[in-house]
Amino acid sequence: MKAELFQQLAASLKEGGAILRGKKKPARKTTLQWPDAKTVREKLGLSQVQFAALIGISPRTLQNWEQGHRRPEGTARALLRVAESHPQAVLEALHR
């Protein structure tokens, strides 16, 4: 690694440490929003069992999402976001 790149990396690590200790404010803050599985399911007019079968998960997983014990990740989160915006498109695509 070149000395200049190493110095940049070291400075970045120091800055990160200062942010974590509360001595410096971050330049930006990102907040992740998880789609509300229950709201999406209700928009589609499906029971928990029907909705779980439609998106290929167990009803227990869906219950955990709806009760806030767990959060959907990866492709499940993406699918819920699409279903939030375009519920009929998701029904048409998955209910074949």
User: Which residues are CB-contacts of 52 (< 8 A; sequence separation ≥ 6)?
Assistant: 58, 59, 61, 62
Which residue in the block uniquely carries the two structure tokens 């869906």?
Answer: 62
Domain count, the chain: 2
Statement to judge: residues 48 and 90 lie in one domain = yes
CATH of the domain at 70: 1.10.260.40
Q: Are 79 and 50 contained in the same domain?
A: yes
Say how far apart CA 27 and CA 67 lie, in whole Å: 34
Domain that holds residue 1: 1-29
pLDDT at residue number 47: 96
Categorise residue 73: left if φ over 0, alpha if ψ from -120 to 50, beta otherwise: beta
Q: Digits of tens for pLDDT over the chain (96 positions)?
A: 688 999 999 999 999 999 999 999 988 888 878 899 999 999 999 999 999 999 999 999 999 999 999 999 999 999 999 999 999 898 889 876
Looking at the structure, do residues 20 and 51 belong to the same domain, yes or no? no
- In this prediction, residue 96 carries a pLDDT of 65
